[in-house]
Amino acid sequence: MASKRTIVTNRGFVRAEFNFYVGKYLDKMYDAFENKKLIGNQCPECNDVFFPPRKICGKCNVVIPLEENWVDLPDTGTVMSYTATPYKITERGSRTVKKNRLLGLVKIDNTNTAIVYKLLKMKLEDVETGMKVKVEWVDKPKGEPMDIKGFVKV
């Protein structure tokens, strides 16, 4: 004999707010964000510097100790690549915007890795690979990724 099951469906949006732990290495980096500072870590074998910091060097496969090899970094970098997109990056709700947003793959000075962030206060025709940029911080950082608004041209 088959059992009766009731399936209930609802239409609408569900707002799911949650926190998650980013790990000890990124936690240390976000602590530095609270003071508008960038820090990375350095491989003890090959001396590559990583931002964001990481636990294991991808080149040497060496564990980078948590309490050692931290490096203060400048808040400047170089645009390695860039794109314009009509899609929102972090905001909820509608995913498209009327005006394209610029994103850049930025290699922070004195590091061997790059990060993706918004390129601010510039037009697509103003952006060039190799262009020097600087971090633009929020007024009151909280120790989270969005403390960096994006990068502006130097």
60 falls in which pLDDT band (50, 70, 90)?
Answer: very high
Digit-coded pLDDT (tens) for 72-126: 999 999 999 999 998 876 655 567 777 888 999 999 999 999 999 999 999 999 9
Q: What is the mean pLDDT of the chain?
A: 90
Domain assignment of residue 84, yes or no = yes
Domain assignment of residue 107, yes or no = yes
Domain assignment of residue 11, yes or no = no
Strands (E), 37-125: 38-42, 49-50, 70-73, 76-87, 96-108, 114-118
Spell out the residues 6+ positions from residue 60 whose beta carbon is closer than 8 angstroms to its own: 43, 45, 46
**pTM for this model (two decimals):** 0.82
Give the number of domains in the chain. 1
Query: CA–CA distance from 107 to each of 37, 42, 98, 119 (Å)?
Result: 16, 15, 28, 13
Domain assignment of residue 114, yes or no = yes
